[in-house]
Amino acid sequence: MSKFKVEIATGSDGSVSFDIPLRISKRGYRKLVQLTSPNAAERPWDTQSTAMQRALGRAERWRRMLESGEATSIVDLAEKENTDFSYIARLLNLTTLAPPLIAAILDDTLPSGTTVNDLAINPPLLWGEQVALLELKRGPIRR
């Protein structure tokens, strides 16, 4: 038995219409069809983190390592993580993003086509300017 309700209506002209509770959203460059019923089954690819969410998590972990003294510098951190110094320096900029941008990353509501580089390379210092620059480049944040 189905966990969501499909409503079927017939018109006076004999046409049939279906009302299926679903939502089409963009996840990166692909479209995702999600059931909106409260009892809808979760699919693994609906709950996996996006690349942007993983980058934000990595940046926060690296910031904590630097603040706690576990790594003494970005160079030391790059050696411990076996990665490039410039990559770490770029991703650490994600830790200074405006709260609405952080929320948009976590909720996966950033404008379609937004990349890590859009947010991590030379972000403005003022939070309002960060949001305005992203919306100028990629469009408004989806609510």
What are the pLDDT digits (tens) for 56-73?
A: 999 999 999 999 999 999
Position 104 confidence tier, pLDDT thresholds 50, 70, 90: very high
Position 136 confidence tier, pLDDT thresholds 50, 70, 90: very high
Q: At what angle do helices 51-68 and 99-107 cross, to 10 degrees?
A: 130
Per-residue pLDDT, 38? 59
Q: What is the pTM of this model?
A: 0.68
- b/e per residue 45-83 (b: at least 16 CB within 10 A): eeeeeeebeebbebbeebbebbeeeebeeeeebbeeeee
Nearest to 74 by CA among 55, 87, 58: 87
